[in-house]
Amino acid sequence: MAAAAAAAALSSGRGAAGVKGPFFIFTLLCLVCFVSSLIEKDQLEKLKEGYQKTQALLDNVKADYKSGMDTTLESIDSFMSFFEPLAEVMKDAAPGFSPLKEQLENTKSFMEKTKAYADDKFVEIGAEIEKLEQKHEKMRKLIKFLEEQQDEL
């Protein structure tokens, strides 16, 4: 009978140890997930702050781009609008002075090339801004997804 009691005590001891092991692992896993969740919240907040800062920068770049594009093209157009009247005046004032006429034509040609270059650059920069906006939108969606995942925890 003493042997039976000792065997029962031994098996019940193992039974408790058998339950304690998985319980310990489960508790440890829960703590790790909880701490990981806290770390992810901190990282998510940093990500959101970075997103907001880049949104402000992107808005400034777009405003500067629009303003710079409008100002530059208006200035070039304004400057070029003086060439035709100036060429007419110069033709009447100095009919035999061809170097001045050539200089005016060269300057007009240069301004036309400058305007074409500016137009091309503005299109190129506009495309880059569009790419940045698309990447920014993907980042917004990622943050939204992470927030939803965080809320589920």
Residue 61 contacts by C-beta under 8 Å, 6 or more apart in sequence?
Answer: 129, 132
pLDDT digits (tens, 9 = 90+) for 16-53: 445 555 555 656 555 556 555 555 777 878 888 888 88
Tell me how long the chain is: 153
At 113, is the pLDDT very low, low, confident or very high (cuts 50, 70, 90)?
Answer: very high
Q: Write down the H helix ranges in the chain.
A: 2-81, 83-93, 98-152
Residue 44 contacts by C-beta under 8 Å, 6 or more apart in sequence?
Answer: 143, 146, 147, 150
Residue 85 has what pLDDT? 82
pLDDT digits (tens, 9 = 90+) for 49-92: 888 888 888 888 888 888 888 888 888 888 888 877 877 777 77
Phi, psi of 149 (to 5 degrees): -65, -40
As a whole number, the mean pLDDT across the chain is 74
Say if pTM beats, i.e. exceeds, 0.75. no
